[in-house]
Chain A
Amino acid sequence: MVGLSVSDDADPHRGADVIRDRDEFQFPPRSLSIHLYEKYFFESSWLAATRESLIVAVGAAAMALLLGIGAAYGIARNEFPGRRIVLFFLLSPLFVPVIVVALGLYLYLARLGLAGTTLGLILSHSVLTVPFVIMMALAGLREVDPALETAARIMGASRLRVLMTVTVPLLRPAIVAGGLFAFLVSFDEVVIAYFVTSQQTQTLPVKMYSSIQWEISPVLAAVATLLTVLSLFVCLVGAFTQPKEHQ
């Protein structure tokens, strides 16, 4: 599994002018090595991009959980005029082409003075991740009997206590899944990030994109492998933290 898709050897059949230690893409690999992974882990620009991506993804997931669960709770547990319209509005980033969202966010963040900042990107990604959390929390809330909340209220619990001791614990599977999903959506996102980041706040996908344009470095292959493994790992964590169905 390690580095199957890459090789740091030049292909002698391609011609003699290939410099010996120049890296290039080749499949199937002619020899195996962890050389490209070393390059990734020791090159500060790759690590900085990874760090930025993690910060943004965690931030965007946290924002999405905070806003999404609150919004889903309000929508699921109350009857008010325009409920469907509010829901449609909150989910609309899913229907609008990402490039349009990205352009809009770029202009808006520039005006706020947040363009090129980490906070700006977290907020931008939240636009995209909130709808996912809302959908998962709505599905989760359908499984939580409102009578449980009523029962807790009648026993004297405050609204906040009911939320923290009854609703949130019962929503945990939806919260875990929604949070992981939001994390992956943000970690993987390139279009919005490309628009609103600067050289200093480049995320990993943006860095990959520019590296394929300017360097054609096979480190990309190592990064891609690592990303796939990370996504798989996150999905597995998600799958194993879901409660087993009783009966």
Chain B
Amino acid sequence: MNREMVALTHVTKRYGKVAALDIDALSVRAGEFMTLLGASGSGKTTLLNAIAGTVKPDSGTILVGGRDVTNLSSAARQLGMVFQNYALFPHMTVFENIAYPLRVRRLPEREIREKVAAALELVRLPGLDARRPKQLSGGQQQRVSIARCLVYNPALILMDEPLGALDKKLREQMQHEIKRLHAELGMTILSVTHDQEEALAMSDRVCLMHAGRIEQIGTPDELYFRPATEYAADFLGESNFLTARIETLGPIMHARGPVGAPLQLQPAEVTAGETVSLLIRPERLLPDSPINPLDGTVEETVFVGGTMTVLPRLADETRVKSKVLTTGGPPWQRGDRIRLGFAPDAARVFRR
């Protein structure tokens, strides 16, 4: 199954002078779990709404399941959507809520009862049919809204911040639940979130958005370890950025880092003499590393149990962050002199 479920070409949307959406091309494969990740105002919700049919793009075409839906109403697009605030009908029981899309499709009553029961079974909420949404907890309400979506088997399900209204523990539980349903039922899911952990944990691929454009699309692993841009690197996870000047190219590049330290880097597409930014994740910038030494003074430490965050200031005033595993030995303290280092493959080189 390598069919395309969603395909966007040259989709744009402006609100006044602001370009809310400017997408050259986006393709979601059938059966894929893709997350649109971005800060607020990045266009991720506008993109989702354009696919749902609640926002009309100024230009471009949107295909869903190979069908051009650009000018179709939401009702004609035949997809499903899960909302942040669940959007359950408060005047209907759980049963009536889940039966709603089936009644719209004029299914016989007996079939409706069977399908609703099966959907409640799927989201592990059997026996709550007669309750009203307000009598359920937030997590239960979200399960009902997912059941209401699954019950009519849409090939594509859109999720708008589906876990945004839940507390941390419930959120993690629902992440597993949604992943399980996705694995069991194999539908395509396009989800929106601003929570990077959620995006990394749930998705087959993440589409990082910034200022209405796609910054990078890739697997969670690619985005974290091989960010395409400084923005992507900064947005996902924690990062240190160091300035360096390339001196020699080759299988191992040599560069001059902050404080004049000689650095060894993996080859990248740069020219000798160029000034570059180095991205190093805090868990890879470690004390007592034999190569690429950077000297500094510890300014602050934060003990969080299994790991400890050490915040030194390098001799050239650059502040960096190092995440070390705790051993029970004497901890780093404010004012300690520290020598950090990183392996050549731990640094990602960005041209300026």
Contacts and interface: CB of A to CB of B under 8 A. Distances in A.
Interface of A: 145, 147-148, 150-158, 161, 165-166, 169-170, 246-247
B100 interface: yes
Nearest to A152: B100
A150 B90 contact: no
A161 B101 CA distance: 11
Interface of B: 52-54, 73-81, 83, 85, 87, 89-91, 100-101, 104-105, 132, 134, 148, 152
A125 to B, nearest CB: 31
B78 A156 contact: yes
A156 B91 contact: no
Given A154-B79, A156-B78, A157-B75, A148 B89 contact: yes
Nearest to A158: B75
A154 B77 contact: yes
A165 B96 CA distance: 11
Nearest to B132: A246
Nearest to B73: A153
B52 A154 contact: yes
Nearest to B54: A150
Contact of B91 (A145, A147, A170): A170
Contacts of B53: 153-154
B75 A156 contact: yes
Given A150-B74, A246-B134, A247-B134, A155 B104 contact: yes
Contacts of A166: 89
Contacts, number: 60
Contacts of B101: 155-156
Contacts of B148: 155
A155 B54 contact: no
Contacts of B77: 154
B165 to A, nearest CB: 12
Nearest to B160: A147
B112 to A, nearest CB: 14
10 contacts: A150-B81, A152-B89, A154-B74, A155-B101, A156-B101, A156-B104, A156-B152, A161-B104, A165-B100, A246-B132
B87 A150 contact: yes
Nearest to B76: A156
A156 B81 contact: no
A147 B145 CA distance: 13
A155 B157 CA distance: 11
B75 A154 contact: yes
Nearest to A243: B91
Count chain A CB atoms within 10 A of each CB in B52, B83, B105 and give the residue with the most. Answer: B83
Nearest to A148: B87
B75 A153 contact: yes
Contacts of A247: 134
Contacts of A169: 91
A117 to B, nearest CB: 40
A166 B100 CA distance: 10
Query: Which 8 A-B pairs have CB atoms at the shortest separation, nearest pair first?
Result: A155-B101, A151-B87, A153-B74, A147-B87, A156-B104, A154-B81, A157-B104, A154-B74
B198 to A, nearest CB: 21
A19 B269 CA distance: 118
A153 B83 CA distance: 13
A169 B90 CA distance: 10
Contacts of B54: 150, 153-154
Contact of A156 (B90, B105, B132, B134): B105
A170 B104 contact: no
Nearest to A157: B104
B87 A170 contact: no
B250 to A, nearest CB: 56
B90 A170 contact: yes
A151 B82 CA distance: 8
Contacts of A148: 87, 89
Contacts of B75: 153-158
B228 to A, nearest CB: 33
Contacts of A150: 52, 54, 74, 81, 83, 87
